[in-house]
Structure 1
Amino acid sequence: MIVDEPRDLTPGAQLPIELSAELLARVEARRAEVLRALSSGDPVYGVTTGMGALSKVRLSDEEQRTHQRNLLLGRAVGGPPWLPPDQARAVVVTRLRTFLTGDAGVSAALCGQLVALINSPYVPAIPAEGAGSAGEIIPLAHAFGPLTGIGTLLDADGREVPAEGLLPPFELGPKEGIALLAGIPGTTGRAYSQVRAAERLADRMAEIAAGAIAVIGANRDPYHPSTGRGDELLQAEQTRILELAGPESQPRSLQAPVSFRVVPQVLAHVRRALGRLDEAVTRALDGVTDSPAYLDGAFVGTAGFHGIDLAAHCDHLVAALAHAAEVSTARLHRLLDPEVTGLPAQLAYDPGPQAGLVAVHKRAVAAVHSLRRLTVPSSIGTAETSNGQEDVQTFSWEAAGVLTEAVRLTREVTACELLAVHQAFFLAKRPVPVALAELLGATADAVPVIEADRPFGVDLRRLADLLSSGSARP
């Protein structure tokens, strides 16, 4: 992928990446301006001074020569568990995009070093937890220390390898160390990856819920788009459910249980939360996050590290997913009830001698319990650090981590419901709606016919992999 403009580069960009000569020339021209401005001798935070509570300390010329690398050394205090490879690479790609705007005033050579890391078979070992600061200096120190031979990389098999010697030798120039630590590229990249994952999951949740609606013969009245007047997103979900589930000429009852009737409302809420987080990610990708940033010919201190926009919308999406998982688990419970489905109890092939899927519902209940505990807002609970220089935090890094776990748990619950829908169609001998044939066909490929009890954890793991793949075929 050849990148001509910063906006061409997203955290999920296709690899390998190559920066156009014109773009690199613009980056280098801004770098020359920054070096001229630095030569004036005026104090510049983190370049000619210390950082945080030590910003009043002026650095000698000799100290400045080693200061930028030292910034990455003393702040790498994290440890395992490390970010998964896709999120680690998204952090690096997002950092590169922020540099391409010119705000950071870094060199084209540093951008090239980032490209070399992105295109390599390695990712930096970035701690998934423990940011604890205004901004992301701890995880970013781990993310970008390897550019200068500091710290640890992970190979394609997830093994830790020393960074020294794995990338071309590189020496940070003035301002480049602090630029690597500035802003919230980590939260931005991680949130981007989770938005994409949650979008795929929401599509699957709609299909699986429609399958549940179809297999119990639910009345289709609640999905008529005229009942969603005033809410175009809700009407779109109602239309989607009708198309997926197909018509029902002889519903089993006048009203299905609530967990079936509210499917469009639940999914519309998830998609609304997704859209708002996606907008926050775009704002973060396009905004000024460097500090000090080089804007209009001068160094300007910023608060671009205060990721409340991303943190709050991550929290919102976590709550929406938790609600969707709760409703899915309730629907799964109803699928085990012969009064609702007209099928054998607990979807067992031979009820009594066999327990059926009752324990699968219990697993979903446990996942929902974990989800509920994730819904405490991440940005609540500030604490002073850096001798009071940093007296508040948003914990946006942690918010992105909580969202990652929420997506995983919601996927687990969704896999449980998918297994039940799959079994219900098998027992009911009902035709699968045409719009659901691909997903349920892939499910049948992944999960053998259930005619006896077995360790369903194996089936659920396969279905969770299916749901995360973005494809209906395993």
Structure 2
Amino acid sequence: MLINSAADLRPEHVTSPDPLELSPALLSRLRTTRQAVLTTLATGSPVYGVNTGMGALSKIPLTEEEQRTHQNNLLLARAAGGAPWLPPLEARAVVLARLKTFLTGDAGVSAELCLQLVALLNSGLVPAIPTGGAGSAGEIIPLAHAFGPLVGIGSLLTPPPAAQAAPALAVHSGRSAEWTVVSAEGVLPPFELGPKEGISLLAGIPGATGRAWLQVEVARRLVDRLSLVGAGAVAVVGASRDPYNPLCGRGDAVLTEELRRVLRAAGPEDEPRGLQAPVSFRVVGLVNANVRRAVGRLEEAVGRAFDGVTDSPAFLEGEFVGTAGFHGVDLAAHCDQLVAALAHAAEVSAARIHRLLDPAVTGLPAQLAVEPGPQAGLVTVHKRAVATCHYLRRLAVPSAVGAMETSNGQEDVQSFSWEAVGVLAEAIRLTREVVASELLVVHQAFVLSKRPVPEGLQGLLGEVADVVPPIVADRPFGVDVGRLLERVV
């Protein structure tokens, strides 16, 4: 896959197994910028992290001999994290995002360093990057782990033996528990960092940006499932379709389209069971539109993070400029907003599950058991959803609140964007659990009701029927939820 500019790297490259290649024209531009960087550095003017110390030690000048090892040394002591490690796909997103920022030229790194990143991406190996413990104004701890392997420092994750024959595909399994941690020494081609390249690897927020880039795609699929599952609940209880009339979305294009989406999937209802269904059914469109808006806003924040200046010092119009691009509060705030939207959507979904188990709402056997009394039915599936929602509520505390001083006061605030995107990934995982639980309940309700499945839901419920055997008696329903999570949701 030929890359001509930073704009050519897109979210789908995180999950694509196709190898990347930098075009000759792009490599030429990188080399031209690199030469200008080296010429400017040769003047001897102080440049943070290049011929000076870092953080609170930035006033200490480095000798020429110290400068020769300084860039590699930057990756040593800062690798202070540990297991658990990011899933392979998220680790790949971090590396890809770093490459994307380098291709703008702001960092002024060599074409050869960019090629080293490409080699890592194409190898099927991924760096062992800690999930937590960033704790700095930027991301120096996780980034030291991410890019130490380029120079033989730190650790890599290798795919399981069964996947060794196709490592480029193995990275997309996302099952980090099956991967092995190995030393990075001697695994990649030998490489020596040049002036400013070590600090450039540690600068900005490529980790949070790349991981959020990946989560946007996952969240978009999730909200599509939320819409269909909510429409399934509406259809199976015979709810009045009034609340989904697109006229109710006046002035709000996102809501209007969401209401249309619910109506298309649920189909018409000529004989609703009542004038008004429970609130959790009536607000399907509003709740899911809120999630869609939050996903869209996060995507815009990711775009701003990629398009903006995050390297520091950045090489801008021929000179080095210290920046604050490492303060990822914009990204953190929009991750937080999406977490809150998902937590609310999951709570509404759990409420619908409870109503779907109630004969007064559905007209179906209690708890959707084939023989209520001797059988418990799906009541414990609802209990699982309730516990999951409780966990989600605890995640909905804003990540960017709670700054603490580090580095002798040089870094006296943080945005915690790395942590924010980690919380988002967990919130998406938990919301999927609730949606899978509701989908199982909707499926059983349709079976017991003997209602025809609306055309807009036949594809989804057909997928469920393919992986969930008929429910004729109690069984460990966690197995069914697990199958839905793996194959459908």
Give how far 1:172 is off.
Answer: 0.3
SS in 1 for 2:394: helix
- Structure 1 counterpart of 2:375: 354
Once residues 286 and 339 of structure 2 are traced to their aligned partners in structure 1, the CA distance between those partners, rounded to angstroms, is 16
- Structure 1 counterpart of 2:339: 318
In the alignment, is residue 292 of structure 1 matched against residue 295 of structure 2? no
User: Deviating runs (4+, > 2 A) in structure 1?
Assistant: none
- Structure 2 counterpart of 1:91: 94
Give how far 1:228 is off.
Answer: 1.4
Q: For each residue in 1:177-199, what CA deviation from the matched residue of structure 2 results, as whole angstroms up to 9, or x when unmatched? A: 00000000000011111111010
- Structure 1 counterpart of 2:7: 7
Once residues 222 and 101 of structure 1 are traced to their aligned partners in structure 2, the CA distance between those partners, rounded to angstroms, is 48
In the alignment, is residue 251 of structure 1 matched against residue 254 of structure 2? no
Give how far 1:103 is off.
Answer: 0.5
Q: For each residue in 1:318-345, what CA deviation from the matched residue of structure 2 results, as whole angstroms up to 9, or x when unmatched? A: 0000000000000000000000001100
Moved more, 236-245 or 150-159: 150-159
- Structure 1 counterpart of 2:324: 303
Q: For each residue in 1:213-241, what CA deviation from the matched residue of structure 2 results, as whole angstroms up to 9, or x when unmatched? A: 11111000000011111111111101100
Give how far 1:255 is off.
Answer: 0.6
- Structure 2 counterpart of 1:82: 85
How is 1:28-427 mapped onto 2 (pairs within 5 angstroms)? Answer: 28-157=31-160, 158-427=179-448
Once residues 366 and 282 of structure 1 are traced to their aligned partners in structure 2, the CA distance between those partners, rounded to angstroms, is 35
Once residues 371 and 153 of structure 2 are traced to their aligned partners in structure 1, the CA distance between those partners, rounded to angstroms, is 61
Moved more, 356-365 or 153-162: 153-162
Once residues 194 and 138 of structure 2 are traced to their aligned partners in structure 1, the CA distance between those partners, rounded to angstroms, is 22
Contact 2:463 2:488 (8 Å CA) reproduced: no
Consecutive unaligned residues of structure 2, counting only runs of 5 or more, are: 161-178
Once residues 372 and 365 of structure 1 are traced to their aligned partners in structure 2, the CA distance between those partners, rounded to angstroms, is 11
Give how far 1:165 is off.
Answer: 1.4
Partner amino acid for 2:34?
R
Once residues 231 and 369 of structure 2 are traced to their aligned partners in structure 1, the CA distance between those partners, rounded to angstroms, is 22
Partner amino acid for 1:383?
M
Q: For each residue in 1:415-439, what CA deviation from the matched residue of structure 2 results, as whole angstroms up to 9, or x when unmatched? A: 0000000100111111111111111
Partner amino acid for 1:40?
T
Once residues 11 and 130 of structure 2 are traced to their aligned partners in structure 1, the CA distance between those partners, rounded to angstroms, is 18
Moved more, 356-365 or 430-439: 430-439
- Structure 1 counterpart of 2:167: none
SS in 2 for 1:382: coil
Q: For each residue in 1:349-395, what CA deviation from the matched residue of structure 2 results, as whole angstroms up to 9, or x when unmatched? A: 11111000000000000000000000100000000000000000010
Once residues 47 and 284 of structure 1 are traced to their aligned partners in structure 2, the CA distance between those partners, rounded to angstroms, is 24
TM-score, normalised on structure 2?
0.95
Give how far 1:466 is off.
Answer: 2.5
SS in 2 for 1:73: coil
Contact 1:12 1:90 (8 Å CA) reproduced: no
Contact 1:329 1:413 (8 Å CA) reproduced: yes
SS in 2 for 1:299: strand
Question: How large is the Cα RMSD of the aligned pairs?
Answer: 0.7
Moved more, 66-75 or 8-17: 8-17
- Structure 2 counterpart of 1:471: none
Give how far 1:282 is off.
Answer: 0.5
Once residues 248 and 443 of structure 2 are traced to their aligned partners in structure 1, the CA distance between those partners, rounded to angstroms, is 29
Contact 2:291 2:338 (8 Å CA) reproduced: yes
Give how far 1:21 is off.
Answer: 0.6
Contact 2:464 2:488 (8 Å CA) reproduced: no
Q: For each residue in 1:281-329, what CA deviation from the matched residue of structure 2 results, as whole angstroms up to 9, or x when unmatched? A: 0011111110000001100000000000000000000000000000000
Partner amino acid for 1:126?
I
Once residues 193 and 102 of structure 1 are traced to their aligned partners in structure 2, the CA distance between those partners, rounded to angstroms, is 23
Matched length: 468
Give how far 1:11 is off.
Answer: 4.2
Consecutive unaligned residues of structure 1, counting only runs of 5 or more, are: 469-474
Once residues 66 and 451 of structure 2 are traced to their aligned partners in structure 1, the CA distance between those partners, rounded to angstroms, is 76
Contact 1:11 1:91 (8 Å CA) reproduced: no
Once residues 460 and 426 of structure 1 are traced to their aligned partners in structure 2, the CA distance between those partners, rounded to angstroms, is 17
